Amino acid sequence: MGAQDTARVTAVLGPTNTGKTHLAIERMCAHSSGMIGFPLRLLAREVYDRVVAIKGKERVALVTGEERIVPRDARWFLCTAESMPLHRDFAFVALDEAQLGADRERGHVFTDRLLHARGREETMILGSDALRGVVRALVPKVEIVERPRFSTLSYVGAKKLSRLPRRSAIVAFSAEEVYATAEMLRRLRGGAAVVMGSLSPRTRNAQVAMFQAGEVDYLVATDAIGMGLNLDVGHVAFAGLSKFDGQRRRRLTVAEMAQIAGRAGRHQRDGTFGALTEEGPDAFDAEEVAAIEGHRFPPLETLFWRDGAPDLSTLDALVASLTRRPDHERLRPAPEALDLKVLKRLAEDAQVRARAKGQVDRLWSACGVPDFEKLGVDPHARFVSRVFGYLAEGHVPHQWFADEVARLDKVDGDVETIAGRIAAIRKWAYIAQRPDWLADPAHWAARTLAVEERLSEALHASLTQRFVDKRTSALMKTIGAGAGELPVEIDAGGEVTIEGHPIGRLDGFRFSVAAEARATDKRRLLAAAEKRLAGERRRRGQALVAAADETLALGEDGALAWDGLAVARLARGPSLARPTVVLDAALDCLDPALRESVAARLRRWVADAIARALPSLAALSEATRAAAAGPALRSVAGALEAGAGVAARTPLVAALADLTPEARRWLRQRRITIGALDLFDARLLKPGAQAWRRALLAAANGVAPPAPPAGATTLPRGAPGAVPLMGFRPLGAQAIRVDLVERIARAAHDAREGRQAFVPDPALAVSMGLEPGTIARLMAELGFRPAGEGYAWRGRARPRPAPAAPTGAFAALAGLVRP
């Protein structure tokens, strides 16, 4: 039995803020050598800096996937769990946040370290009390030490973002949510620092330093802050209680909630937690609150496991050992992680299999390259295949590596662009840290680190510029508690004044600052006016919900107005007759429940207005979805709805031929005319209806068709509105309203006798302002041929399907060809 078999193994278990990590650092520094494995690169870097201050830079090492600082005389190592050098001999070894053995993606790594990472003299396993049973079963001689929390953690209910106390951390579960919350805090409170696990240590430290120094009073973070990052936070607010775990979106476990909430309070100072919403799926329930406050969580029954020392003799042996089931009841097979998915994909490639003979270890090492950019299995597998192809022949080519690093060495762009480059450079930094993958790994490790640092500085600057208004932040601090008591007045015209000083206007829901207010006064006065403006906006929102129909109107380009004020617009919906109502951004100031009430009120008004102005359109929309209508009627109804009540007859010939008598009767009852050239509802061509037709077509297609002059019956062919969508059929040099085309068609058929020649009533053409050329073209379209002074019926030619739309270089010329 070796020395490590009899060495002391201690499990230090308890909630957050119990000093577990601090204890491990003290114990490590008391030994001649030591190593601690952490769940995050950020945390490893933070503790590295602390230990360097104690032991000196020449004796402390930092080992992560993307960064490796190992001085010649290094004796104390701070590492990520995946990067712990288990082959080295240390007097002390510790594993932090060991409960991550239950994590679906990385759990097998933490379980392996829990089972096998041992110090020569002492080993510490740090984690939640939920580990107690499973640790005792897996490490029979373990000594369990329980650590109580230094301070009290209390639930204080839900608070809106604008009501959060200073020194608050708001936790969201995606980069998009983090950015949106930080942007809102910039407007409300002068700004916020941003912390995410994907940030580089340099960016994260700069953001945290800004928060710790009091330059901003709020911090927006992902659940990365739950992994032991030390922050001066008094309150933790959850923006939501669910996250995507790589497979599905699920509610956080109580233990996960507690891990994050526990960041509130430090040492002896009590902390609080809460949510941003009082009710719904993003609110805490009573049982969860009681469990978090009492630090009582369901015990972990099992941990995920995968063979940490797989058989590397052959590719098939490697896959078999990585998919082998554990032989302990407290262990369960780990879900297929990305490295194993990539290995299986590559194992299907005959060329890779041939190269892997005798080099299985290098292939498995290449599969371990993390997908920092979240590209997905297939693109990442192709990248790994390329890397392994080079490794099988020796090294990753200098030129390829240099070109890719140079491509990323740019600091321009927005936050998302720079963050994307940092994710990409981490991949190349990881490759540079492999000692035998490059001909000159030390040079490229320094180069990639330098690029990451430059990008990190640029990202910190971009985050600060985007999410921090330093002037507002400073002024908010000087306002003090009495600012809310200053007299704020809003007169009938919307002018906002404080103590008689005009600070701006409130037009509807949009507040604009007075141009004459001094910059140093604006923020101070605006902060004082905030409560009053919020109350007035809420009152106006409630008035809009209760607004009478006559106060609402359709404006230009699909805008919806209330008492002349644009409050929303129409956007593409499930169908043309059912548009979506999108509230104006100025209404974002309302709380979600009131915003939804406003949207519901406007949706009702829009539906009623469409039913009044376009009575047949709603029925046509329903017919397109009704199975009982039959395919022929659904086709006809769909074409009519797409054209807002107008459709050319030729493309519908087959569907019209298949209409049953009942379907034709249904169309007639909806006042749909099946004309000689077009199908239409004449009511929809009146000026009031035309405005709604244009609005719906603009919402559906993104562009509003031109409006014809009110009451026009004919237009020059190229005039605005002379298009089929607006109910005009181009004929020769003119365009005629489709209902008048049908009127002429019926008069012509009434006047003819068989195929004998006849002269159309000239008075009808003159009353409409038709030119001779237009009349000739129309008569030809209707199936008549010239005969002497008049026309004779020759019969309608069988319609041919419309030709396919032209493509290629001459497609743009198609619209210039006259029919």
Cβ-Cβ contacts under 8 Å for 374 (sequence gap 6 or more): 423
Residue 682: its pLDDT value, please?
87
Q: What is the dihedral of CA 264, 267, 270, 275, to 10 degrees?
A: 10
User: Residue 598 domain-assigned?
Assistant: no
Amino acid 501: pLDDT: 59
Give the sign of the dihedral formed by CA 360, CA 361, CA 362, CA 366: positive
Q: Over the Cα atoms of the chain, what is R_g?
A: 36
Instruction: Please count the structural domains in the chain.
Output: 5
pTM of the model: 0.58
* Minimum mean pLDDT range among 88-97, 235-244, 245-254, 363-372: 245-254
What's the rounded mean pLDDT across residues 444-463? 92
H or E element: which one contains 649?
Answer: none
Are 123 and 257 part of one and the same domain? no
Q: Same domain for 102 and 236?
A: no
Question: Residue 143: which pLDDT band, with cuts at 50, 70 and 90?
Answer: very high
Q: 89, 113, 146 — which closes off a domain?
A: 146
Q: Please indicate, yes or no, if residue 652 is contained in any of the structural domains.
A: no
Position 812 scores a pLDDT of 42
Quote the CA–CA distance of 778 and 781 in Å, as a whole number: 5
Residues 166 and 275 in one domain: yes
Q: Record the tokens describing residue 289, joined without a space.
A: 């609150």
Q: In terms of DSSP bridges, do strands 60-63 and 92-95 run parallel, antiparallel, or are they unpaired?
A: unpaired
Residue 559 belongs to some domain of the structure: no
Spatial separation of the C-alpha atoms in residues 366 and 386, rounded to whole Å: 10
Residue 169: what pLDDT?
93
Mark whether 367 and 443 lie in a shared domain. Answer: yes
Domain of residue 223, CATH code: 3.40.50.300
Cβ density class 343-352: b for 16+ within 10 Å, e for less: bbbbbeeeeb
**Whether residue 280 is found in the same domain as residue 334:** no
C-alpha dihedral sign at 604, 605, 609, 610: negative
**Rounded to the nearest 5°, which phi and psi values hold at 225?**
-70, -15
Instruction: Kindly state whether residues 278 and 212 are assigned to the same domain.
Output: yes
- The pLDDT of 283-299, averaged and rounded, is 90
Distances (CA, A) of 73 to 120, 601, 643: 19, 72, 79
Q: What is the pLDDT of residues 549-566, one digit of tens each?
A: 999 998 877 889 988 888
pLDDT in tens, 749-786: 888 877 777 777 777 777 787 888 888 888 888 888 88
Q: Tell me: the pLDDT tens digits for 406-429? A: 999 999 998 889 999 999 999 999
Q: Assign 458 a pLDDT band (cuts: 50, 70, 90).
A: very high
Instruction: Check whether 260 has a pLDDT greater than 80.
Output: yes
Q: Highest mean pLDDT: which of 141-150, 489-498, 748-757, 799-808? A: 141-150
Same domain, 202 and 326: no
Residues 6+ apart with CB under 8 A from 233: 167, 168, 169, 219, 225, 263, 264, 265, 266, 271
* Least confidently predicted of 21-30, 410-419, 499-508, 805-814: 805-814
Q: What is the mean pLDDT of the chain?
A: 85
Please check whether residue 276 is in contact with residue 239, taking contact to mean a CB–CB distance below 8 angstroms. yes
Residue 668 has pLDDT above 60, yes or no: yes
Structure tokens given for 411: 């600091």
pLDDT at 5 over 90: no
**Domain assignment of residue 66, yes or no:** yes
**Considering the domain boundaries, does residue 247 fall inside one?**
yes
> What's the rounded mean pLDDT across residues 569-595?
88
- Reported as a single tens digit per residue, the pLDDT across 45-56 is 989 999 999 999
Query: Nearest CA to 562 among 532, 606, 610?
Result: 606
Is 582 domain-assigned? no
Count of residues making up the chain: 819
Residue 660 in tokens: 């049953």
Q: Long-range pairs for 336-341 at CB < 8 Å and ≥24 separation?
A: 337/105, 337/106, 337/108, 337/306, 338/105, 338/370, 338/371, 338/377, 338/380, 339/364, 339/367, 339/368, 340/306, 340/367, 341/377, 341/381
Q: In this predicted model, what pLDDT tens digit does every residue of 80-98 receive, in sequence order?
A: 999 999 999 999 999 999 9
Q: Pick from 545, 577, 594: which residue ends a domain?
A: 545
Most confident segment among 449-463, 681-695, 787-801: 449-463
Looking at beta carbons, which pairs linking 459-463 to residues 24 or more positions away fall under 8 Å? 459/199, 459/200, 459/203, 459/415, 459/418, 459/419, 459/422, 460/202, 460/203, 460/206, 460/207, 462/414, 462/415, 462/418, 463/182, 463/193, 463/194, 463/203, 463/207, 463/415
Domain membership of residue 646 (yes or no) is: no
Same domain (yes/no): 130, 249: no
Residues 312 and 461 in one domain: yes
Give the mean model confidence (pLDDT) for residues 134-142: 94
CB 317 within 8 A of CB 361: no
Higher-confidence residue of 704 and 728: namely 728
Nearest alpha carbon to residue 723 among 711, 741, 739, 735 = 735
pLDDT at 472 exceeding the cut of 60: no
Looking up tokens 């379907």 gives 663
| 404 and 509 co-located in one domain | no
Last residue of a domain, one of 530, 545, 560: 545
Tokens describing residue 163:
């009501």
107 located within any domain: yes
Per-residue pLDDT at 232 exceeds 90: no
> Domain check: are 489 and 424 in the same one?
no
Residue 163: predicted pLDDT:
87
What is the structure's pLDDT at 526?
63
Same domain membership, residue 441 and residue 506: no
The pLDDT tens digits of the residues spanning 193-204 come to: 998 877 887 888
Q: How confident is residue 816, by pLDDT bands cut at 50, 70 and 90?
A: very low
Predicted confidence at residue 492, as pLDDT, reads: 72
| Backbone torsions φ then ψ of 218, nearest 5 degrees | -135, 150
DSSP three-state, residue 509: coil
Query: In the chain, what percentage of residues exceed pLDDT 70?
Result: 90
* Range of the structural domain that residue 489 is part of: 480-545
Report, as an integer, the average pLDDT of 256-282.
86
Task: Give the tens place of pLDDT for each residue, 515-543.
Answer: 655 454 555 556 666 666 778 888 888 99
